[in-house]
Structure 1
Amino acid sequence: MTETRLVIFDVDGTLVDSQRDILAAMAAAFGAEGLAMPPRERVLSGVGLSLPETFLRLAGEQGPDTRARMIASYCSAYAGLRQANGAGSSPFYPGAREMLERLAGEPFTLLAVATGKSRRGLDGLVEAHGLEGLFHSRQTADDHPSKPNPAMIRAALGETGVAAHRAVMVGDTRFDTDMARAAGVASIGVGWGYQPAAGLGADRIIHDWAGLMPALDELTETIS
């Protein structure tokens, strides 16, 4: 009998390219406090962390009250952009939706999300793209410590009943691969995201979605 496997996806920089709205919302957050926004590369290098961790990295010299206002400004700006642009706010990378639908059609594969997004942000994206029912577990930064803490992956394993040796984390940052390692699951890094693929430390690296299925099959076979 085939043992069920779980494929856990990061969202921003992995499934969807949300950098335009991330940068715009970040500019609004810094601008509201009369501060200059850090360079684009520095902002994108922290995508995947929870917002408190992100603003601690980007504006750690500011006090906690200022950072709290910046987080509120960021969330408000991002929500406004999502409402205005719908699915266009965070477009899928080419081939991502087709790969999700292919995996969802496999009888022994379950899908999950582990993201630094808020619950509201993830729900908005799922609604905008019509993804309801696709993911068997949806873990967000609202309910867990920030990546790379393994809590989100452990919760996904618990919700789906899949053993760690049959799970794989797919992401674009070192936060994802370190989280996977801490949770005892394999990792696949994608080469199109917000951090250089060479520094991800993943078990496998793919450079297009065509490479995902062979990597998944190899890892879940190897570690089963």
Structure 2
Amino acid sequence: MAARQFDLIAFDWDGTLFDSTAIITRSIQEAVRDVGGTVPSDVAASYVIGMALMPALAHAAPDVPVSKHAELGERYRHHYIAHQHDIVLFDGVLPMLAELKARQHSLTVATGKSRRGLDEALHAVELQGVFDGSRTADETQGKPHPRMLHELMREFGVAPERTLMVGDTTHDLQMALNAGCASVGVGYGAHPTDAFDALQPRFIAHSVAELRDWLRQHG
């Protein structure tokens, strides 16, 4: 196994570790329908995954007035909560994380979810203790602003050149670029990979198995 290149690895959650893209997309569409907006396409709804919730919903439903944004957020949460226990980790995620822990990487989560949402997800899949730290969109700046990564690097005392961001959206990769960090894109989540190259990822993994193999050799 190759020598470790990164001390800190930050993972996006939805669409990277957690197989939630379809449920989030449907929940956005149903929420917009509930408040009388123009229902976004699958592509438009999935594009905003990874952003903080209200900016994401506003982007996906530009014709919904600001006066209805609170209701829009409530309807999204209603639909998501109804299906959140249907969501599972992608196959292979747990052994990949265990292998990285064994190599003494600091493992963190940088997500557009809320703190409550992430904590519930971590509890549901019994991942307590796997991650050394995390940042959520409601406690810092949302992606692609680099603040999440800046805060995690400061917390763990790790320089940008020793930090890797792994995510499934252009928001994740742009955040890494903005923070001066390396990134790996995954092609099994919310965004098509044709937009990834401009954001300079070290690698694009099309499965968890490919991601695990790359991290084994280059992480």
Q: 1:123-172 CA distances to partner (integer Å, 9 max, x unpaired)?
A: 11100100011111111011122210001111111222222111100001
Q: Does 1:50 align with 2:52?
A: yes
Q: Residues 48 and 115 of structure 1 are in contact (CA less than 8 Å); yes or no, is this contact kept in structure 2?
A: yes
Alignment check: 8 A CA contact 2:135 2:152 kept: yes
**What is the TM-score of this pair, normalised by structure 2?**
0.89
Report if aligned partners of 1:150, 1:182 keep a CA contact under 8 Å in 2: yes
Q: What corresponds to 2:211 in structure 1?
A: 212
Structure 1 position 90 matched with structure 2 position 87? yes
Aligned to 2:129: 133
Alignment of 1:156 onto 2:157: no
1:16 corresponds in structure 2 to 18
Deviations 1:95-123 (A, max 9, x none): 112111211222x3110000111111111
Aligned to 1:101: 98
Match of residue 71, structure 1, among 73, 76, 86: 73
Partner of 2:30: 28
2:63 aligned to 61, 64, 89, which one? 61
Q: Give unpaired runs (5+ residues) of structure 2.
A: none
Is contact 1:136–1:160 with CA below 8 Å preserved after alignment?
Answer: no
Q: Distance in 2 between matches of 1:23 and 1:171?
A: 17
Deviation string, structure 1 residues 25-53 (Cα, Å, up to 9, x no partner) = 22331232133421111101111111121
Residue segments in structure 1 that go unaligned for 5+ positions in a row: none
For the Cα contact (< 8 Å) 1:188–1:215, is it kept in 2? Answer: no
1:170 corresponds to which residue?
166
**In the alignment, does 2:202 pair up with 1:203?**
yes
Find the aligned partners of 1:41 and 1:4 in 2 and give their Cα distance: 33
CA separation of 1:4 and 1:207: change in aligned 2, threshold 3 A: closer
Letter in 2 for 1:92: L
Identical pairs, percent = 34
For normalisation by structure 1, the TM-score amounts to 0.87
Q: CA deviation at 1:6?
A: 0.6
- Paired positions, count: 214
Deviation of 1:76 after TM superposition, in Å, equals: 2.8
Deviation of the 1:63 alpha carbon? 1.9
Distance 1:101 1:19, change over 3 A: same
Report the 3-state secondary structure (helix = DSSP H, G, I; strand = E; otherwise coil) of the residue aligned with 2:10.
Answer: strand
Task: Give structure 1 regions of 4+ aligned residues with deviation exceeding 6 angstroms.
Answer: none
| Map of 2:112 onto structure 1 | 116
Secondary structure of the structure 2 residue equivalent to 1:134: coil
1:217 to partner: Cα distance: 6.1
Contact preservation (8 Å) 1:186, 1:219: no
Say whether the 8 Å CA contact 2:48–2:57 is kept in structure 1: no
Change over 3 Å in CA distance of 1:19–1:137 after alignment to 2? same
AA matched with 2:109:
V
The AA in structure 1 aligned to 2:189 is G
